[in-house]
Chains A and B, each alone.
Chain A
Amino acid sequence: MNTQTINNNWTKTIKPKVNALDFKLAEIWSYRDLLFLFVKRDYVALYKQTVLGPAWYFIQSALGTLVSFLLFNVIAGISTNGINPVLFQMSGIIIWNYFASSLLSCSTVFIKNANIFGKVYFPRLIMPLSIIFSNIIQFGIQFTLILASIVYFFIKDHTGYFGLAWFMIPVYLFLMAGIGLGLGILISSLTTKYRDLTVLLNFGIQLLMYASAVNYPLTSLKLKNSGLYSILKWNPLSGVIDGFRNCLLLGKINFDTLLYPFLFMIFSLLGGVLLFNKVERDFMDTV
């Protein structure tokens, strides 16, 4: 009997240990329809749940903008480097919202989906991936708000930017998605052991917002307090948020500031997937 040929016939082998760096990209690709359907599910669920539904996202970002505008620009009087302060706050808030909601949802992916993960096998990474795609819908809704605002201020003040630089916007979004996914799955892998990490995260994400150049330009910090700047400049999110804002509102693209967030994204994704793959194999036994 030719054993060799028989062994080659097996299409799948289940073993106790697998290569942790196996990203299973081919498998994820074969489940792309599932990814799409998860995104569709989130979209439909969003529409059907409340009367306000997507309108809620308008209100959320509009109110956020108003509060930030009053607090940082009117009361504190932070300079916006000549950018319309309302647009300044709004652009920072919507890209931050995208990051924050992606990170928060990704970080509970194991606990929230323990039920479904325990019953059926599909590449687990599909779930966090679908989350970052679903959140693009939310971002898109809020993005129309800022577009409308840009048009409004253009008509009112005859200032503003429209142009080709906007083609770079997906790049900033991609960086935010990557960092959110990487950190999110890293945290979700840890939450299978430490439940209180989600509490810490909810609180920490608030602080992180103030440490990321959401409500103030990074340059203003550089001038006023160089000590604080030397620490906060290591926050990769600041570069992305500042870059996104300059690109959207001024048409300025600075590729130098993208390198660090990009490297950070690569490492957080590598670390995240590594831990995620390790945990997904038998988190069902501990959750």
Chain B
Amino acid sequence: MSDIAIKVENLSKQYRLGEIGTGTISRDIDRWWHKIRGKEDPYLKIGEVNDRTQKGSSDFVWALRDINFEVKQGEVLGIIGRNGAGKSTLLKILSSTTSPTLGEIKIKGKIASLLEVGTGFHPDLTGRDNIYLNGAILGMNKREITSKFDEIVQFSGVEKYIDTPVKRYSSGMYVRLAFGVAAHLEPDILIVDEVLAVGDAEFQKKCLGKMKEVSVNDGRTVLFVSHQMGAISQLCNNGIVLKNGSIAMMGPIKDAINEYLKKDKTDETVGYVNTKNSGKQTYFKKIITQNEDQIITEDFGFDEDIIIHCEFEIGKLEKNVLLGVTVLDKYGYWVSTAHLVIANEDNSDTFKVYDIKIPKGILAPNTYSFRIALFKPHVILYDLVDPVCPIRIIDTGSKMAHYEGMDYGNVIMDIEFNQV
């Protein structure tokens, strides 16, 4: 027995750019009427050449190009990539809402997609009716829904309002009910796209748990698309990184996330660069942030050290200058401060380079910036750069990953809970 659930072979999808036809029958007739009288096409734009041979190169764009992969039964595969990389197109083809241009997909078992929860909900229908309708749209039959009904209601926590039209529901209740139906589908393959972006934290946690349960206990195959690296790293075993319609990398989820976070190219404008010296002897020349591999970036994983690379000049006669660094949260409040005395020997070079390492696993996923200074306490402030080097810490699987996207603080500590 083969244990491959999905096999994608040479899959490509082409989109045509721009207008297709003129869009209305009257204009097409008009165009045709001009043509038979030997006149110019009135809807052709100025400077545009109606040359059929050019279409192959310019009018079409490949949203997906030669995608090949296999998904094993019971595997939870994360699909990551920047906007426009082709994730959604891939899922749309997998869920049969659009067809591929080339290649084919073979699927074993029943497939269901949660491209967006609540599809087909009718505001005038009660929660009960909507559970049935939505379940049926997602591919369940009546008997299956009836057997799951109580579980769905309990999961979504709307028992009291089950016979109320959903237009009276709060948006949270609405989403919970919708996800409840979707989560209780029993397909062999489940496609999930960004559904976790909605709902309160408790509910998000419930959803993640449910998805984990689905994949681990029931051995079902899940394809998961999200921008939330924390959720991805928690749920998935393997990942595919899509870049411009092709697979950039495929492998264990940690490697896939690292690949995704990697900057496409080193951007020189990141950070602080001071080329003109305004008469100062002691000043910063360059401040940038790097990851462990000395690659300049603004995005760091939770499990990555942050290195602030500082280049500065210290005037010949200055002794015991302090290099201070303060981590600022997104509101500009001080999170933590540290400093170092720079011993400036008489014969040493005035140009100094320091790497300040902020250890991994402490700063919570959020955005931060830095305040970096050269000073002598209570005496003189030589140079101050504030704020500088905005960075983003992305959840790659912290303890708080369930609450990704929420502001639950700036620091994650190993807090112990002991029952006494």
Contacts and interface: CB of A to CB of B under 8 A. Distances in A.
Interface string A73-107: 00000000000000000000000000000000000
Interface residues of B, number: 50
A33 B99 contact: no
A200 B99 contact: no
Contact of A37 (B20, B28, B95, B133): B133
B8 to A, nearest CB: 9
Interface string B337-376: 0000000000000000000000000000000000000000
Interface in B314-357: none
Contact of A121 (B96, B116, B142): B96
B98 A195 contact: no
A120 B120 contact: yes
B109 A14 contact: no
Interface string A41-52: 100110011000
Interface in B207-235: none
Nearest to A47: B124
A158 interface: no
Interface string A24-59: 000000110110111011001100110000000000
A119 B26 CA distance: 31
Interface residues of A, number: 42
A40 B26 CA distance: 38
Nearest to A284: B98
Contact of B104 (A9, A13, A118): A13
A117 B100 contact: no
A210 interface: no
A100 B342 CA distance: 87
Given A34-B136, A41-B133, A14 B115 contact: no
B252 interface: no
Contacts of B28: 194
A174 interface: no
Nearest to A35: B136
Contacts of B270: none
Contact of A11 (B20, B107, B113, B129): B107
A224 interface: no
A112 B137 CA distance: 16
B137 A14 contact: no
Contact of B102 (A16, A33, A195): A16
A34 B120 CA distance: 11
B93 interface: yes
A-B residue pairs, 8 tightest by C-beta: A121-B96, A34-B136, A194-B25, A14-B105, A196-B24, A10-B106, A281-B99, A12-B107
Interface of A: 6-7, 9-16, 30-31, 33-34, 36-38, 40-41, 44-45, 48-49, 115-122, 193-197, 200, 281-282, 284-286
